[in-house]
Amino acid sequence: MDPLALTSEALREPWRLWTGHLVHFGWEHTLANTFALLVPALLVPCEDRRRLCTVALLAAPLLSLLLLPGLGQDQYRGASGLACVLWTWLGHRLLATEDSAPLGRLMLGGLLLKLAGETMVNGSLLVRAEGWQTLPAAHLWGACLGLISTIPARFHARRA
């Protein structure tokens, strides 16, 4: 078992709460997650780049803690849950401006279709390489955390 993967040991080895999102099941898995993370990184407006990084940094351990009870003796490797956080967060940020609202709707709609499809088939919609284990719960929890991460901006906007 990889010493950086997220496992039940994370409560005794807290670095795993972050590093579990860095390790993968091979180059195909790494490539898929890199692409999923690049989309929000490239689409985020310049003024929101620091916020995007902060959301990712704070969401990583929270997502890991949410996944721990369902892991049992298994492990979590990958950044797909974190990508779902960022897609949700950025989608909501883009909805806030008239010019970028269509892109925000497209991101959120695409993510919603992915989550619904995974729920219906009880697994991944992507073809996976040998040994690559998908955890759809990471995607659902990621989307939920992404939604929660939009609350401070909404609160601030109402106060202004």
Tokens of 77: 């490797």
- Please give the single-letter amino acid code of residue 125: L
- Please give the single-letter amino acid code of residue 154: R
Q: Tell me the per-residue pLDDT of 95-139, one tens digit each, with 9 for 90 and over.
A: 988 999 999 999 999 999 999 988 888 766 665 656 666 788 999
Interatomic CA distance for residues 11 and 17, integer angstroms:
8
Q: Tell me the per-residue pLDDT of 52-73, one tens digit each, with 9 for 90 and over.
A: 999 999 999 999 999 999 888 8
Give the class (CATH, top level) of 8-159: mainly alpha
Question: How do the domains of the chain map onto residue ranges?
Answer: 8-159
Interatomic CA distance for residues 134 and 1, integer angstroms:
17
| Residue 154: pLDDT band with limits 50, 70, 90 | low
Instruction: Give yes or no for residue 146 having a pLDDT over 90.
Output: yes
What is the residue-averaged pLDDT of the chain?
89
